[in-house]
Amino acid sequence: MPGTTPDQPPGLRPGTLTTSDITFFVVSAAAPLTVMAGVAPVAILLGGIGAPVGYLLAGVTLTVFAVGFTTMSRHVRSGGAFYAYITRGLGVPLGIAAALVAMLGYNGMEIGVYGLLGSATSDTAAAFGADVPWLPVSLAGLLVVWYGGYRSIDFGAKLLGVLLVAETGILVLLAAGVLLDGGADGLSVAGLAPAHVLTGGTAAVLACAFAAFTGFESTVIYRREARDPDRTVPRATYLAVAFLGLFYAFVVWTVIQAFGEDEVVRAAADDPGGLFFAAVTTYVGAWAADLMHVLIVTSVLASLLAFHNAINRYTLALAEEGVLPKVLGRIHPRHRSPYLAGAAQTALGAVVVLAFALAGADPYQQLLLWVNTPGMLGLMVLQLLAALAVPCFFRKTPHREGVWRTLVAPVAAFVLLAGAITLVTANVELFTAASATVNTVLVSLVPAVLLLGLLLARRLRRTRPEVYARFAAEPATAPAPQGEPQPCPQPTSSSSTPASAPPSSPATPLSPSVTD
């Protein structure tokens, strides 16, 4: 077998993924069609006709983050991605804590979506006159996603490419129909004016917008399988952020034009879940609305597979570190996939889905929203810590990178991401539709896991010093830095945590039902 010897176990398949392949993984994880049909109506309801600008601002913030993030990717080649960056910049204890938060974040983002898969499929079947219970669909989805992760990474990339083209294609078709028809009252860019952007609902719109990019940073997880990763990973990161930001803003703007700037907020309030379906029926045809119902299901499946592959590679890296059981680090001899990590993740997903089902929970209101919310917050905290790690890493590492990439952009990203986390936390009821008690528990999970990680690091240092010492070390082929990185103090500027009051609008779930 290429790349292995009789005495060497198989590894991941190197040199497999192109820039477009990795971009497909990242954009598919964001589930553009589901985000647009299920989340954008809430952004319009809360932010009015200025909502498209929220997606542009979120895209700009994450682009600034990507500058330092991708620069550091050329210097840190560990398969641990985020937690490796944080370890090298902020020290082993925070790195181990970040690894646990990564597991919480990616598992939360994936497992909760099995509830959406079940509910969206049930709603789609109902649109065609059939009655399909959600639980069998979710369990079948677990098996389909497991198989996709079990197969080779190029199989997953090809599958995601097809699904992504289909789901974005229906949105492009809707936009083309609106543009060709001229919209309800003619095309207008009045919503981009500051008077419409800086409104009482701006904070809520920005919270929705940042949530729509979740998972974009997973490009670096595929470094070991990428062709020319020093070029492929940064390109895929910038492409994913640029595409999502511009595409989201454009599609939301066209839907506003479809109803007219004077009527779109009322239409979103009357039927948020049906807003996109009504627009595509009017401007393209009823057949397109039926197709959109089906493509939402495939969009959810694509997102599940993308997150599943990311989780498997984090699990593999932690097994190789010795933090998780070594057996989870086994690679399939033929498909070169972390197949046992995938089986374990699927088993965990099945346990959570069945637990919610046995408790009589709603697959959408509880399984999706309650499990996704701490997952989303976990990934945002990882981004925050990674942004801080960049200048700390380059301060003590010889390099030829410019000050913009190693200091200015990362610090700016830290401040902006701190503001984004504040917005999301202050508006968490939009994401959960739950009581204050439930929201407190969900938000507290991330700091609790961070604390647990710090305690685990302390225990490993005392009982397994060899594991602690080599945590997030560079591969043998890359020069390893000498000594353990020392923590870097956080910026103390009060502007790094801007407060944001919750909007005066009623608490509305972030992701309303995506069907009529």
Residue with token string 């007219």: 260
Q: How far is CA 491 from the centre of its chain?
A: 26
How many of the other CB atoms lie within 10 Å of CB of 2? 8
Winning range, highest mean pLDDT, from 105-109, 351-355, 493-497: 351-355
pLDDT value of position 9: 57
Compute the average pLDDT of residues 64-93.
85
Whether the per-residue pLDDT at 394 is higher than 70: the answer is yes
pLDDT value of position 259: 94
Tokens of 256: 């506003």
pLDDT value of position 488: 56
Share of the chain above pLDDT 70, in %: 86
Choose between 394 and 77: higher pLDDT: 394
Compute the average pLDDT of residues 364-372.
88
pLDDT per position as a tens digit, 116-165: 899 889 988 988 888 999 999 999 999 999 998 888 776 766 777 788 88
pLDDT band at 500 (very low <50, low <70, confident <90, very high): very low
**The residue count for the chain:** 516
Query: Do the beta carbons of residue 179 and residue 254 sit within 8 Å?
Result: yes
pLDDT value of position 18: 87
Point out the least confidently predicted range of 245-259, 401-415, 424-438.
424-438
Q: Fill in the DSSP letter of residue 299.
A: H
Residue 10, C-beta contacts closer than 8 angstroms, at least 6 positions apart: 1, 3, 4, 331, 332, 333, 336
Winning range, highest mean pLDDT, from 4-13, 27-36, 195-204, 493-502: 27-36
Nearest to 116 by CA among 37, 233, 215: 37
Compute the average pLDDT of residues 493-508.
37
DSSP per-residue codes, 361-411 = --IIIIIIHHHHHHHHHHHHHHHHHHHHHHHHHHHSS-----HIIIIIHHH
Whether the per-residue pLDDT at 492 is higher than 60: the answer is no
Point out the least confidently predicted range of 239-248, 313-322, 452-461, 496-505.
496-505
Whether the per-residue pLDDT at 175 is higher than 80: the answer is yes
| Residue 270: CA count within 13 A, CB half-sphere | 9
Tokens of 304: 């599940």
Strand, helix or coil for residue 109: helix
Whether the per-residue pLDDT at 279 is higher than 90: the answer is yes
User: Domain 25-496 classified CATH 1.20.1740.10?
Assistant: yes
Share of the chain above pLDDT 90, in %: 36
C-alpha–C-alpha distance, residues 59 and 38, integer Å? 19
C-alpha–C-alpha distance, residues 50 and 201, integer Å? 10
Point out the least confidently predicted range of 85-94, 205-214, 236-245, 370-379.
205-214
C-alpha–C-alpha distance, residues 175 and 411, integer Å? 37
Distances (CA, A) of 157 to 29, 153, 468: 12, 6, 34
pLDDT band at 356 (very low <50, low <70, confident <90, very high): very high
Query: Do the beta carbons of residue 356 and residue 363 sit within 8 Å?
Result: yes
pLDDT value of position 254: 95
Nearest to 381 by CA among 97, 75, 112, 36: 97
Strand, helix or coil for residue 129: coil
pLDDT band at 206 (very low <50, low <70, confident <90, very high): confident
Nearest to 191 by CA among 53, 42, 55, 59: 53
Query: Do the beta carbons of residue 364 and residue 104 sit within 8 Å?
Result: no
Query: Do the beta carbons of residue 97 and residue 471 sit within 8 Å?
Result: no
b/e map of 83-104 (b: 16 or more CB within 10 Å)? bbbbbbbbbbbbbbbbbbbbbb
**pTM value?**
0.81
Choose between 201 and 482: higher pLDDT: 201
Give all strands (DSSP E) within 83-199, no chain letters. Answer: none
C-alpha–C-alpha distance, residues 514 and 346, integer Å? 25
Q: Which helix (H) or strand (E) holds 34?
A: helix 32-38
Whether the per-residue pLDDT at 486 is higher than 90: the answer is no
C-alpha–C-alpha distance, residues 264 and 267, integer Å? 5
Residue 113, C-beta contacts closer than 8 angstroms, at least 6 positions apart: 31, 300, 303, 304, 307, 368, 372
How many of the other CB atoms lie within 10 Å of CB of 211? 26
pLDDT value of position 80: 59
Tokens of 299: 């969009």
pLDDT band at 27 (very low <50, low <70, confident <90, very high): confident
C-alpha–C-alpha distance, residues 167 and 171, integer Å? 7
Point out the least confidently predicted range of 54-68, 207-221, 386-400.
207-221
169 phi and psi angles, rounded to 5 deg: -60, -40
pLDDT value of position 11: 67
Winning range, highest mean pLDDT, from 17-31, 173-187, 220-234, 324-338: 173-187
Could you state, in order of their start, the residue ranges of all structural domains in the chain? Answer: 25-496
Whether the per-residue pLDDT at 5 is higher than 50: the answer is no
Whether the per-residue pLDDT at 510 is higher than 60: the answer is no
| Residue 451: CA count within 13 A, CB half-sphere | 5
Query: Do the beta carbons of residue 196 and residue 55 sit within 8 Å?
Result: no
pLDDT value of position 79: 60
Strand, helix or coil for residue 124: helix
Query: Do the beta carbons of residue 516 and residue 374 sit within 8 Å?
Result: no
Point out the least confidently predicted range of 37-46, 366-375, 390-399.
37-46
Compute the average pLDDT of residues 300-324.
87
Dihedral of CA 110/168/67/337: which sign?
A: positive
How many of the other CB atoms lie within 10 Å of CB of 38? 28
pLDDT per position as a tens digit, 119-133: 889 988 988 888 999
